[in-house]
Amino acid sequence: MLSTEQFGFNAFWWEKLWEDDEIKRCASSLSRIGYKAVEFKLDSFNPSKSMKDEFARAVRIAREEGLEVSNFVILRDVADSKNRDKGIADVKRCIQAVSGAGVNKLNLITGGVPNGVSLDEKKWWLPKKPLLAMAWDNILGAFEQFLKLAEKEKVYLVVEACVGQIVHDYYSTLELMRHFDSEYLCLTLDPSHYQLYRNDIPWAIRQWKDKIKHVHVKDTVGVPGEFGVDFLFPILGEGAINWNEFFRALDEIEYKGYLSVEFESFKYMDEVLGNNPSKAAEISMESLQKLWRQHKEMR
């Protein structure tokens, strides 16, 4: 059964974790609030330093503060031919750095929708048009390289479906997964993106089962389109996610990984919280605990 020992937080709001004291401040804050794990983003670390050394240092300091590092995150577009080679090289280095730091999960995405492709077309993600065919070829070729290295390094590639990306919901994720037979190609299940595309989230969780190696906890309201106009990622409990059914489905598949909160209420963060990441983590924990208690009462 799920427990509060699985609660984590995505620390991307701490933008420059370049020194030991900055990493410690982040980790100690999350630990004090009650989180058990932290999720770090590559772009928070000093790009002029060794990625492997930066990751290893972050893991060491986090553990000193009582946190496990659930995973690292790299956001690179490998669908776009223009930036693909650099993206591939960055992801490969990240796989090696994650392994060297003693962590076995790397969160990544695929790439954005090509210009000229309408999001309104039914099943637009399928590779039937030249632009999409090229994007899918780029993605599949990149992931073939990634998986070869991931299998060697024993690192799970936990692909996250994201709004506006080639891989953005259950069905587009399935299109990626069907091309590879590898235990190291897995998923970060973020219900907010599935909700935007009106997927049945509990059903999707039951289909993926043990392919889900990491989970993001983030609410949403709206439909795909322009962020802040067509959709938002509000504070937990304010959006459209049925959290009781979400937790119940994860219980059914006996999910053992972390539940990592992503705070992406950007306007609220700026105008109300003054861009204070600790306050965002506190509000998120309060909301998560309330939703969690409601789930326990209902099960």
Buried b / exposed e across 215-225, counting CB within 10 Å, b at 16+? bbbbbbbbebe
Alpha helices in the chain, H assignment, sequence order = 20-33, 51-64, 84-100, 130-153, 170-177, 191-196, 201-208, 243-252, 266-271, 277-298
pLDDT tens for each residue of 96-105: 999 999 999 9
* Token pair listed for 174: 């399935």
pLDDT of residue 238: 95
Are 145 and 88 in contact, with CB atoms under 8 Å apart?
Answer: yes
**C-alpha separations of 98 from 24, 36, 69, 155, 265 in Å:** 19, 19, 10, 8, 28
pLDDT of residue 113: 83
Phi, psi angles (nearest 5°) of residue 47: -70, -15
Euclidean distance between the first and final Cα of the chain, in Å?
Answer: 11
pLDDT of residue 120: 55
How high is the mean pLDDT in each 10-residue block of the chain (299 residues)?
95 95 98 98 96 97 98 96 94 98 97 71 57 88 98 98 94 95 97 97 98 98 94 96 97 97 96 97 97 88
> How many C-beta atoms lie closer than 10 Å to residue 297's C-beta?
8
Distance CA 18, CA 128 (A): 45
pLDDT tens for each residue of 258-273: 999 999 999 999 999 9
pLDDT of residue 13: 95
pLDDT of residue 123: 57
Are 236 and 285 in contact, with CB atoms under 8 Å apart?
Answer: no
The residues pairing with 259 across neighbouring beta strands, listed in sequence order, are 7, 215
* Token pair listed for 231: 């959709």
